[in-house]
Structure 1
Amino acid sequence: MFGFLKKKKQQTEIYAPVDGRAISLEEVGDGVFSEKLVGDGIAVIPEKDQIVVPVDGEISFVMETGHAFGVRVPDGPEILVHIGIDTVNEKGEGFQVQVKAHQPVKAGTPAVLVDREALYKKGYNLVTMVLVPEIDSFGSLQFLKKGEVCAGKSAVLAF
């Protein structure tokens, strides 16, 4: 009764973490991501070195290797950003972390500077995934944009 009085939850948008070309996870070519074992989301083939925070929230963790970090959305899920495939093997080389755990952040905040040239020379695929592991607890994930995207400006996902 009086359902019209219920406040509708505002949609939360998740932005591209890097300038580049957004693709589906199925196109990533690594089973862990393309089979969505870590979570649903989207990937971006990077064209720049700067990775930014994709959503307003608080940094929940930063891997000491710099290749991944998480952002906890207020009253929402944790959003994971994973830079490249097998880049953990570099043990932090080629990654300059610019955020720390428990830091409040806004979408577009610089998070990790990547030495793409050095990592490409070593043969790494630097496709960058934005993943939402717990989306089922918070609704459904909407895919907003594929193709060319701008870091912190192009909304690629929403829940």
Structure 2
Amino acid sequence: MPLRDEPRPQLSVGEVARRSGVAVSTIHFYEARGLIAAERNAGNQRRYAREVLRRVAIIKVAQRAGIPLAAIEEALRGVPHGHAATAKDWQRLSRQWKDMLEERIANLTRLRDQLESCIGCGCLSLQECPLRNPGDRLGQAGSGAVLLRPRAPRR
């Protein structure tokens, strides 16, 4: 166990990759995106604080839940580098992502229900099918290439 005055042991990129279960290239990618941070030693090798393992775990869980990387980046801005994420941090992060997941669940449920009503139909109607042509606004202007029709001259 290190004494209080001794620096905490740091991990190489290979150790972080092995312990977190991701590829070295993924660790480099996360660092390039600012999701994790490393220091350089005298030999210019990356060295990571042990806290980075928890950040990588949070990133992996969020990605598994389908959270876009941009949303993960934004959320992790509130967890400073070098700070071991706590249960309180996780609660804050998961609250931020909950609405996004609820919306995705609602959209997928709607899509599932639309699929069920469409099975066997085979029409793929350009005017009526909510799957093939959702929210068709141009179809209301008539058939054909309505965007290419010449406009009437202004008077």
TM-score, structure 2 normalization: 0.27
Highest Rg: 1 or 2?
A: 2
Greater relative contact order, per chain length (Cα 8 Å cut-off, separation 6+):
1
